[in-house]
């Protein structure tokens, strides 16, 4: 919990600093003087009022967190614009008659946030091919994580994404956690499980928990518990794996891991060695582990493929890699190979609280696994 208090304190401090900067920036703008705000005091009052009005409007329209995101984009681009135009003005040897730096910052902010909104609210299909010397035969997997039902889309929107997954003709569908969110209602959960159960595949649908699926708050707030979610998933023929494995068609294993958040809740989970020690190493092993933060142990345990979500692809540029910088994640997005172990982290089907993705895009993943005596991947 301490880390969240630190993040909250930093967010409040940065927001206050951003509002002060924006108020001062508006007060100094030639545009403000043209509106008749000629005295220094009146310009400062106008600047403060304009900054507060803009922030309040964004908070009421989007929510407080996304208002902060918009504010920071405007502030950063204003600083960049002022710097660039100061250099131009230095060589130009005369001031600009209009606030071109401010106008450029607003236009660039609008463009960046519009693109981020689009990248967040539209879902792409990302393809990978994994080659292995193990005799698995060809296998097509559809993977998704972080649908956070009720955030970016409702259950009708989720059903549309399920239909697109079906069009990929998967042999198996894997869900790598955060299927639902703390704000998902019971009815939304039931309808989403029903949509998930509608998938027609050779080997079915398998599910591993993420940190939000069981909820952080009182279950009464959203109307269901983690056990209720398991019941609805099983009712729709979705197999739930919690530190469990299953051998499919005598060809490959699916191992679903308890989420790392269980440790923080005081519940132990098995190590990778414990999960894999009794499995046939000649068969291909696929690990569902919501948080990508155990790569060394997964490599040492000789897992073949590890599938994760959680990071949302880093969400916002240029902060994409913060999770890796502070050691919270081993990878933020995409594909990596260590020895024989292949790792894939998806950016997720949805968002959590932030409604923009300026450093990635929403997606589900199609993975084709092929037998090859000279393994490679792309």
Domain coordinates of the chain in residue numbers? Answer: 2-119, 123-371
Q: Please tell me the predicted confidence (pLDDT) of residue 377.
A: 45
Residue carrying the six token digits 């299909």: 125
Give the 3-state secondary structure percentages of the chain, helix then strand then coil, rounded to 5: 45, 20, 40
**Mean pLDDT taken over the chain:** 92
Domain 123-371 has CATH 3.60.21.10: yes
Q: What is the pTM of this model?
A: 0.89
* Per-residue pLDDT tens digits for 241-253: 999 999 999 999 9
Summarize the confidence of residues 347-357 as an average pLDDT: 92
- Cβ burial of 154 (10 Å; 0-12, 13-18, 19+) is middle
User: What CA–CA distance (Å, rounded) separates 363 from 124?
Assistant: 5
Calculate mean pLDDT across residues 295-315.
Answer: 96
Selection from 337, 319, 378, 365 nearest residue 125 by Cα: 365
Tens-place pLDDT, residues 179-228: 999 999 999 999 999 999 999 999 999 999 999 999 888 788 889 999 99
Lowest mean pLDDT among 24-28, 145-149, 252-256, 289-293: 24-28
Q: Whose CA is closest to 143, among 172, 180, 178?
A: 172
* Cβ 288 vs Cβ 255: under 8 Å: yes
Q: What is the pLDDT of residues 188-202, one digit of tens each?
A: 999 999 999 999 999
For residue 352, the model assigns a pLDDT of 85
Average pLDDT over residues 162-170: 98
* Residues in a beta bridge with 284: 252
Q: Would you place residue 353 in the very low, low, confident or very high pLDDT band (cuts 50, 70, 90)?
A: confident
């Amino acid at each position: 919990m301490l880390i969240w208090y630190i993040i909250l304190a930093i967010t409040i401090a940065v927001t206050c600093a951003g509002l002060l900067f924006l108020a001062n920036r508006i007060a100094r703008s030639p545009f403000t003087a043209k509106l008749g705000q000629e005295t220094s005091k009146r310009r400062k009052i106008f600047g403060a009022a304009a900054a507060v009005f803009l922030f309040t409007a964004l908070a009421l329209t989007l929510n407080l967190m996304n208002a902060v995101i918009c504010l920071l984009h405007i502030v950063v681009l204003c600083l960049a614009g002022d710097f660039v135009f100061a250099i131009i003005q230095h060589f130009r040897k005369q001031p600009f008659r209009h606030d071109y730096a401010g106008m450029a910052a607003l236009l660039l902010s609008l463009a960046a946030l519009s693109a981020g909104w689009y990248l967040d609210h539209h879902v792409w299909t990302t393809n990978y091919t994994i080659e292995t010397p193990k005799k698995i035969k060809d296998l097509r997997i559809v993977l998704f994580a972080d649908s956070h039902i009720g955030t970016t889309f409702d259950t009708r929107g989720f059903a549309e994404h399920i239909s697109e997954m079906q069009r990929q003709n998967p042999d198996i569908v894997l869900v790598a956690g955060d299927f639902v969110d703390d704000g998902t209602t019971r009815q939304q959960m039931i309808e989403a499980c029903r949509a998930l159960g509608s998938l027609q595949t050779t080997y079915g649908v398998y599910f591993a928990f993420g940190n939000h699926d069981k909820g952080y708050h009182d279950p009464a707030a959203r109307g269901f518990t983690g056990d209720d979610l398991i019941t609805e998933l099983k009712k729709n023929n979705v197999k739930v794996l919690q530190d469990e494995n299953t051998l499919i068609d005598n060809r490959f294993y699916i191992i679903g891991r308890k989420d790392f958040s269980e440790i923080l809740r005081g519940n132990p989970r098995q190590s990778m060695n414990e999960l894999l020690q009794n499995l046939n190493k000649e068969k291909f092993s696929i690990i569902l582990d919501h948080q990508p933060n155990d790569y060394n142990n997964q490599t040492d345990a000789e897992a073949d493929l590890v599938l994760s979500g959680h990071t949302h692809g880093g969400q916002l540029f240029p902060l994409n890699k913060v999770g890796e910088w502070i050691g919270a994640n081993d990878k933020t997005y995409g594909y990596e190979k260590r020895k024989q172990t292949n790792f894939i982290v998806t950016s997720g089907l949805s968002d959590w609280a932030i409604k923009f993705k300026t450093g990635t895009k929403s997606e589900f993943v199609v993975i084709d696994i092929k037998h090859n005596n000279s393994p490679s991947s792309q």
